[in-house]
Structure 1
Amino acid sequence: MNFNLGTYQAGKTTILPVFIGQNVEKLGLKLSDYHGKKKDHVVWFDAEGTRFVVIGLGDVKKFDLNKFRDVVAFGARAARKEGVSDVTVLLPEGTSFSNEDLVHTVAEGYVMGEYQFNKYKANKEESTVKNITVASLDGDLTGLEGALNRGKIYGEGTVIARELNNEPTNKMRPFDLADYVVNLFKDSGATVELFKGAELEEKQYNGLIAVGRGSAHKPVMIKINFQNDTSKQATALVGKGLTFDVGGYSLKLSRDLSDMRMDMGGAAATVGAMYILTRLNAPVNVVGIIASAENLIDNNALLPGEIIEYRNGKSVSIGNTDAEGRLVLADALILSQEIGAERVIDIATLTGACMRALGSKMSGLFANDESVANAVKEAANYTGEKVWELPLFDEYEDLLYSPIADMANIGSGDLAGAITAALFLRNFVGENQKWAHVDMAGPMAVNRSHSYSNEGATGYGARLLADFAQR
């Protein structure tokens, strides 16, 4: 798809976002309040040779960029179904946002809304749209090419994260993920290092080794280096990369476990974020770290009652093999210390407890430093990927007590599971590191295309991490 800035021209299929009560008679349309109401469908109008895709934005006083992303996504899907090749998207009038923000959001929302994962289907709905023109009825968009390109790249990074998560289990093993990363970052300005087999043992990535023992598809630690501006604060983006998680011997009990291929949501977000940063040629000093494994069962798999000794000297007793994400993240966090990252953010589909607390629309945020927490919140506000800060309550560390090791990998009892998971991870963060943890179990996936997140993986976190890294 080609994006460009231009002016409205009658005769093209035009996506028209409208507010309740907005007058658009200058376009030859007479609309009612109904057409301005926020909803999950579009209304087609023909006027003066133009096909309008009218989509409601709701009350202008409650407008935000996420609503605009949704509207653009609905319009993109409608244009695809109509089979057109050229589309104009009009910016909404009367908002408090700059044209720069609106232009960015159009490109971002269109790319995300257009995406569909249908590569394994016999009958595919192919996109016919080739050219998208972004236009405004009340202003000149000259000079906003950078915002347009930035939005497009943000959207592409999210699509990459979705694509990785949506891949079937048999198509995305740990080494498949590693190969994908190597190919994606060829000639990008980034370098990729892979640690597997004997190298994992040599570096004592014992948590990753232990979790991956039950699978014939062995684990790998992936490191993506993009030091484009070494004067900037060294930042590590850390992602959990469980390409499938059956729970190990603490077997998950569910009728359908197919979504457990998305337990690599944090890894997918990290890859998508690094794509955004490299394609923008952003002036950052960032390393992406992904700990990837499969958590399966065989006669060599990790058992409850084992102890893992980490290279930072701390030991962990295993109470539940389905609390495996924190075990691999611990190794990645230790690596972030060793490479000198001054601030680090890890992201993972970590706990059902966080999803039960916050639902499916936002992630839990934990941080040991206010400046990092604020930077994550600011990034979330900009990208629309919502977070809610939860406490690192020191008194709950007692719930991780183990009589035979420095700590257990699960808390005692069924309470505060998201907090105890974050407290566990804090044990592997450097004393002087500024650290944030994002538990994205809730917004990992959606079951229908009701927003700019299409059915399946949402790609949550790719834009959030990329934006955070630039702050």
Structure 2
Amino acid sequence: MTDTASRPATTTDRSAPIRFVDADEVPADAEVLGVPVFDDLTLPVGAGARLDVAFLRRCGFEGRPGQARAVPADDGTTVVALGVGKGDRVDGDVLRRAGAALARHAGAAAKVATTLPAAAGGMAAPVVEGFALGSYRFEDGRRRVQPRAVEQLTVVGARADDVRRGAVAAEATARARDWVNTPARDLTPTRLGALTEELARERGLRVEVWDERRIAAEGLGGLGGVAAGAVEPARLIKLEYRPRSPRARVALVGKGITFDSGGLSLKTAAGMMTMKSDMGGAAAVINATLAAADLALPVAVTAWVSATENMPSGTAIRPGDVLVARNGTTIEVLNTDAEGRLVLADALSLAVEEEPDAIVDVATLTGGQRVALGSGVAAVLANDDALAAKVTAAGDAAGEPAWRLPLVAAYRKRLDSEVADIKNVTTGAAEASTIIAALFLEEFVDGRSWAHLDIAAPSWSDSDEGLLTKGGTGWGTRTLIEMLAAWA
């Protein structure tokens, strides 16, 4: 028996983390036991519990994925029936939903166990992810929540390395959620850089945080231009994980707008309400890189994050201004609320200079993504079919689905400018905005293998559902971890 600890609570909650333990049988001290139940109300071999099928049926329990029913036992413990659907269709996403349902039915129990892996050939990582993320609660130092009761989850019939992989992915996702949920005045670009430095030092990773002087000296005109209206200084964060004899070299690029007012192209009041989340891409790439180190994946990873606020003031960039990006491209800024692509232009240019095998950027970039795909599916656009397939496959495996949209070359002319190499928005009909934004970004990858993941809507949840809790979702973190693991 081995155990691993994850901290699905927040950076402000320093209570003891949940311990995740693998075991061959249900421990005697388990207060709650979660068992998988198929949609014909049978249990898989190894489920380790007896349930009154007639009682479940009377309760309307049908074994659907995500469904749960707590049944008190004579010995004072509780058995939670966890629906997993058809026996031949139990995948990672079903197990995550079941794990989250168990977390929400654990009540005041300190010791919880589950035999969910019995439903899917021993697969345990998604069970751990679901339980940990279903347990997630955020507190910002002012709003207190009830302390989490669960101290330990025993995953019966699991491999230790699989349990650890799930715990690491859950911790990375929870930390990304923490950062997205933190008020913007508390998570400034400077603070984001300091947090990254602290976490990098704990793992012995290389990290650089460029201040505003270095940003100007390095010619990061997109980042510097967006930051011009803010009192809080910008930061460029470079985080490196360098294992011996890596099988691939991957650059991850994240949009780090710690608050987006829209600049002089001011958003509406309603449009600003969740704009502390506009650094969701940055949170994903930093925490995925940390997870790659925690898992000792044989893939070299460099995370690049352009972090700034986008604020209106007398020093802010104005519509009609021209910026010069790191790679020398001149950009006519016609809408200051299309700022994410400006800061990404510099970060992508820096990534290209190190000649990685692939570049993947993650950003809360366009409202068009929400219109096209809603809050449950991210958009992928890429200049490399194989890389696009790798990203979408990773999203499917992580329970973070993504759909590929085309890079329509004919649309590129809509970004032609009369005074610069390119303009940051089209001036005609507001259509295909997600594709147009990706075509803008493509100008800065110099033909290298590249994929863009737009997580504008999936980065935030308006309700508690499945393994999501209201607020930041950490979307993209587990997709990137799965993608890096696939390279390994």
TM-score, normalising length: structure 2: 0.90
- Pairwise CA distance, 1:78: 2.1
Per mean C-alpha deviation after superposition, the further-off stretch among 104-113 and 317-326 is: 104-113
- Pairwise CA distance, 1:103: 1.2
Helix, strand or coil at the partner of 1:109: helix
Map of 1:283-362 to 2, 5 A cutoff? 283-362=298-377
- Pairwise CA distance, 1:3: 1.5
Amino acid at match of 1:42: A
| Residues 88 and 133 in structure 1, CA contact (< 8 A), matched pair in contact too | yes
Helix, strand or coil at the partner of 2:198: helix
Amino acid at match of 1:2: R
Match of 2:434 among 406, 411, 418: 418
Amino acid at match of 2:61: H
Please name the residue that 1:85 is paired with.
Answer: 110
Match of 1:243 among 255, 258, 262: 258
Please name the residue that 2:26 is paired with.
Answer: 8
Please name the residue that 1:225 is paired with.
Answer: 240
Q: In the TM superposition, what whole-angstrom CA distance separates every residue of 1:24-51 from its partner, at most 9, and x where no partner exists?
A: 5973321245323437663221224231
In the superposition, relative to structure 1, how do residues 256 and 327 fare at CA in structure 2: closer, same or farther (>3 Å)?
closer
Match of 1:130 among 133, 151, 157: 151
Map of 1:190-205 to 2, 5 A cutoff? 190-205=205-220
Aligned pair count reads 458
Instruction: Work out the CA distance in 2 between the residues paired with 1:287 and 1:105.
Output: 26
| Residues 95 and 126 in structure 2, CA contact (< 8 A), matched pair in contact too | yes
Amino acid at match of 2:369: C
Instruction: Work out the CA distance in 2 between the residues paired with 1:119 and 1:275.
Output: 23
Instruction: Work out the CA distance in 2 between the residues paired with 1:77 and 1:405.
Output: 55
Per mean C-alpha deviation after superposition, the further-off stretch among 61-70 and 444-453 is: 61-70
Match of 1:259 among 244, 261, 274: 274
Match of 1:208 among 223, 236, 254: 223
- Pairwise CA distance, 1:170: 1.2
Amino acid at match of 1:38: R
- Pairwise CA distance, 1:120: 3.1
- Pairwise CA distance, 1:231: 3.9
Instruction: Work out the CA distance in 1 between the residues paired with 2:363 and 2:484.
Output: 17
Instruction: Work out the CA distance in 1 between the residues paired with 2:346 and 2:244.
Output: 26
Instruction: Work out the CA distance in 1 between the residues paired with 2:143 and 2:222.
Output: 41
| Residues 297 and 484 in structure 2, CA contact (< 8 A), matched pair in contact too | no
Q: In the TM superposition, what whole-angstrom CA distance separates every residue of 1:265-313 from its partner, at most 9, and x where no partner exists?
A: 1001012201211111221111000000000011000100000112322
Match of 1:36 among 54, 62, 67: 62
Q: Which runs of 5+ in 1 are unaligned?
A: none
Instruction: Work out the CA distance in 1 between the residues paired with 2:450 and 2:306.
Output: 18
| Residues 243 and 263 in structure 1, CA contact (< 8 A), matched pair in contact too | yes
Match of 2:133 among 109, 112, 117: 112
Instruction: Work out the CA distance in 2 between the residues paired with 1:218 and 1:26.
Output: 57
Amino acid at match of 1:280: L
Please name the residue that 1:22 is paired with.
Answer: 41
Amino acid at match of 2:69: V
| Residues 34 and 116 in structure 2, CA contact (< 8 A), matched pair in contact too | no
Instruction: Work out the CA distance in 2 between the residues paired with 1:391 and 1:180.
Output: 36
Is 2:391 the counterpart of 1:370? no
Helix, strand or coil at the partner of 1:154: helix
CA RMSD of aligned residues (A): 1.8
Instruction: Work out the CA distance in 2 between the residues paired with 1:15 and 1:123.
Output: 28
Is 2:293 the counterpart of 1:278? yes
- Pairwise CA distance, 1:417: 0.4
- Pairwise CA distance, 1:61: 4.5
Structure 1's consecutive aligned runs of 4 or more residues displaced over 4 angstroms after TM superposition are none
Please name the residue that 1:427 is paired with.
Answer: 443
Instruction: Work out the CA distance in 2 between the residues paired with 1:65 and 1:342.
Output: 29
| Residues 71 and 80 in structure 2, CA contact (< 8 A), matched pair in contact too | yes
Instruction: Work out the CA distance in 1 between the residues paired with 2:50 and 2:246.
Output: 55
Q: Which runs of 5+ in 2 are unaligned?
A: 1-17
Instruction: Work out the CA distance in 2 between the residues paired with 1:30 and 1:20.
Output: 15
Q: In the TM superposition, what whole-angstrom CA distance separates every residue of 1:378-398 from its partner, at most 9, and x where no partner exists?
A: 211211111100001100001
Q: In the TM superposition, what whole-angstrom CA distance separates every residue of 1:203-257 from its partner, at most 9, and x where no partner exists?
A: 0000000001111101110000111134432210000000000100111114362
TM-score, normalising length: structure 1: 0.93
In the superposition, relative to structure 1, how do residues 388 and 215 fare at CA in structure 2: closer, same or farther (>3 Å)?
same
Instruction: Work out the CA distance in 2 between the residues paired with 1:354 and 1:12.
Output: 44
Helix, strand or coil at the partner of 2:78: strand
Per mean C-alpha deviation after superposition, the further-off stretch among 11-20 and 348-357 is: 11-20
Instruction: Work out the CA distance in 2 between the residues paired with 1:217 and 1:205.
Output: 17
